[in-house]
Structure 1
Amino acid sequence: MDIELDWSTHRREAQGSDNFQLTWADDDNLYGAWGDGGGFGGANDDGRDSLGFARIEGGWNTYRGYNVWGGKNAENPPQFPGKSWGTICVGGVLYSWIVPDNPDAAGSGDGFRFTDDPAVAWPRDHYRYVHLARSKDHGATWERAPWRWWREDNLIVATFLNHGRDDDGARDEFVYSYFLRPERTDVTQSEFKLNVHKPGALFLARVHRDHIFAGRDAYEWFGGVVKGKPAWGPLASKQPVFENPEGTGWCVSAIHNRALGRYFLATEHGVSERGSLGLYDAPAPWGPWTTVKYWTAAHPFGQTRPGSALEWKDNIFFFSFVPKWWGADGREFTLLFTGAGKGQDNDSLNTVRGRFIMRKPPAPPPPEKTPDGPAGP
């Protein structure tokens, strides 16, 4: 399998705001988080918020975005800062994995108190913890769970595995999430920066769809494949579900393509913010993974873009498939990507239409010849 992108369809919105992993909600709209900008209609310093949530209405070539929570002329004000690369809709409720900008607690464990007062916050550190937020009104207001995953758990930035509309098409009653393994459990953003973590590894957790917000103990962790089936257990038993010695980036995306029956995973490797991205696929959320496309710093994502005249720099660090905009046979898609343009170029929501190119099965071997001619039945 390979992919081909139609750069004549390249579209750019929400200049100055990045991230934008999207989920397909029960109301038929797309929702997702953006960071450090004004969202749709804003700019890097116009309506800027640390974290915002957007609603996108329409089709892949006619869509329009709205700032639901945060950003310029927002429908609702933001309630707290942070960043997110993982949102999902299940049963009409939006859930989002949030990492902090300035953490509000120093130690691991329960008993912390939320405070977004910068006077008492710690230095900016997306790696400090991951916490969950949910919205029962399609992003207008958000509630944060009173529990967290900590860096000391050997876990940092997380994303959800998305399926179809309102998580339709899920393989079972569980919701799956991928967590990055940090290079070290004492790593901080001020020291390590937003760089690739080497060697790269991802962990996989699952939780019943009725208990997503219930707490840490509701989650089970992939512990390897035993007799052909995945083993699930407590946090201490977790094993990597994906590994790459060249690293994983500081964010990841994951989605299921129902028509093709494949799961797709995307993250960086090698060096960050240089278009060094890998796209992988598997028959199940736990693998085994094969490589669909592997861009490098020498040959980055978007190196050539025939048909697009939009300003460009090789600074892409994240992409994901838009769950609503698959083609009927699963082969056509819309790819959403974002980069580190400091308010310019790819620091924005970018979409481009593409399609999968399926490898042809090998031709059968020619029939064996006998002295009297080809062998027959």
Structure 2
Amino acid sequence: MGPWQLSVSALAQPDKISHLPLRWIRGSRAVMAFTVSVFLSSILSVITAANPPYPPSTVIRKIVWAPVDTITRKAAGSDNLPVTWADDEAIYTTWGDGWGFEPRVPNKLSMGFARIVGAPGNFTGTNIRSPAEQLGGGRSGRKGWGIISVDGVLYLLMGHADRQGGQAQLAWSHDHARTWTFANWKFLQFGLMGFVNYGKDYKGARDNYIYSYSHDGPLADTPADRFILMRVPKNRITERGSWEFFERIDETGHAVWTSDSKRRGAVFYHTDGCLRSAMTYNAPLHRYLWWQQIPVPKGSADRGDTRFEGGFAVYDAPEPWGPWSTAFYTERWDVGPGEHGDFPAKWMSEDGREIYLVFSGNDSFSVRKATLVLAQKY
């Protein structure tokens, strides 16, 4: 079958086209591969809505989850929980709509902070009291959607910045989450921004940029049809004018960036399926792992509430802009997947095959081991 000889019957069979992008990586064909992959995936998401929007991974054959009874849960009553590996070896998180880790704070917070030390199965979480804590509930309460440590500084992407469920605002801390400075500007168009995490304190990053993603919409509880990607020099992250948007892949296969938000392109398509997510680089495997929530069906009061039941997917790619493939996909996990999931780089094995998912299932800081079963060539 030639590169453009695709029938309607082939579109209904993702396995028939799953390897096309990997075959077309020579010269100008790289951009053809990326464009066709995105185009076909968007078609498939409409034709086979119950199926993953991208073909099976050629690197990760499957993900095997540890038994349910091995899940560790702490910080009961709290959710969101993005994580990052900081310079002091600790994992930092921001929790929402709860009381944090034991001993709990006396008053329920919309956004609080915590420090986690120890191994995945034997860790301790400690709340960090800060003047930046937020009160409020639902759309009126500000939340932490993304967090990252770079050169000893913690950066936070706070959602619900308008107190109406939309917008995002950057903040940073030089003292490990005790005090924060908030930018005097906001991202008005994006409500669910997060950071691409690498190793300890951003070690092993692909370059000197910080990367950020968002579903392409202003409201944190309303799914979009696509995800977008942004970048900013790590020494200029606090300057709004230094942020750029992914636009497209050029004829040489390289990413093209623009400062004009109106020219932003997509790095991931999934019709009505893009909402909360988190991306981490698995350095030993040279793959980006993108955890994505599967939104609750239309008609539900809160389409982002998968704390107690629901599904998610894990996609992988060689670059933060793709091309993406599906490593795991379920519309109903064996436990509540939470509305946010993260694979901390600190808790990845040296060969990258054993990882741990931090997720807000059962409205708590939940940790579950996962084993990546790789294709034979790996």
> TM-score category by the smaller chain?
0.7 to 0.9
Query: What corresponds to 2:86 in structure 1?
Result: 25
Correspondence for 2:151 among 91, 94, 100: 91
Q: What code does the residue aligned with 1:358 have?
A: L
Post-superposition shift, 1:60? 1.4
Query: What corresponds to 1:15 in structure 2?
Result: 76
1:125 aligned onto 2:185: no
Q: Distance in 2 between matches of 1:283 and 1:245?
A: 23
Q: What code does the residue aligned with 2:268 have?
A: F
RMSD of aligned Cα (Å)? 1.9
1:3 aligned onto 2:63: yes
Q: Distance in 2 between matches of 1:237 and 1:14?
A: 41
Post-superposition shift, 1:78? 4.0
Post-superposition shift, 1:9? 2.6
- Structure 2: tracts of 5 or more residues without a match: 1-59, 136-141, 297-302
Question: For 2:339, what is the secondary structure of its paired residue?
Answer: strand
* Residue pairs, 1:136-175, within 5 angstroms: 136-151=174-189, 155-175=190-210
78-87 vs 255-264, which deviates more? Answer: 78-87
Query: What corresponds to 1:236 in structure 2?
Result: 262
Conservation of the 8 A alpha-carbon contact between 1:85 and 1:253 = no
Q: What code does the residue aligned with 2:159 have?
A: V
* Residue pairs, 1:289-308, within 5 angstroms: 289-296=324-331, 300-301=332-333, 303=334
Query: What corresponds to 1:38 in structure 2?
Result: 99
160-169 vs 50-59, which deviates more? Answer: 50-59
Q: Distance in 2 between matches of 1:277 and 1:25?
A: 27
Question: For 1:350, what is the secondary structure of its paired residue?
Answer: strand
Post-superposition shift, 1:41? 1.1
Query: What corresponds to 1:58 in structure 2?
Result: 118
* Residue pairs, 1:203-242, within 5 angstroms: 203-214=228-239, 216-227=240-251, 228-234=253-259, 235-242=261-268
Post-superposition shift, 1:266? 1.6
Q: What code does the residue aligned with 1:348 have?
A: S
Question: For 1:96, what is the secondary structure of its paired residue?
Answer: strand
Query: What corresponds to 2:21 in structure 1?
Result: none
Correspondence for 1:266 among 291, 298, 318: 291
1:357 aligned onto 2:373: yes
Post-superposition shift, 1:361? 4.7
Query: What corresponds to 1:282 in structure 2?
Result: 317
Post-superposition shift, 1:125? 2.1
Post-superposition shift, 1:15? 0.3
Question: For 1:146, what is the secondary structure of its paired residue?
Answer: coil
Q: Distance in 2 between matches of 1:201 and 1:92?
A: 32
Aligned residues: 299
Q: Distance in 2 between matches of 1:5 and 1:243?
A: 26
Query: What corresponds to 1:342 in structure 2?
Result: none
Identity of aligned residues (%): 34
Higher Cα radius of gyration: 1
Q: What code does the residue aligned with 1:331 have?
A: R
Question: For 2:80, what is the secondary structure of its paired residue?
Answer: strand
Deviating 4+ runs (over 3 angstroms): 76-81
Residues 29-72 of structure 1, C-alpha deviations (whole Å, 9 max, x = no match): 110110011100156x9431110011001121221000013xxx
Q: What code does the residue aligned with 1:225 have?
A: I
What TM-score, normalized by structure 1, do the two folds share?
Answer: 0.75
Structure 1 residues 170 and 318, CA gap change in structure 2 (3 angstroms): same
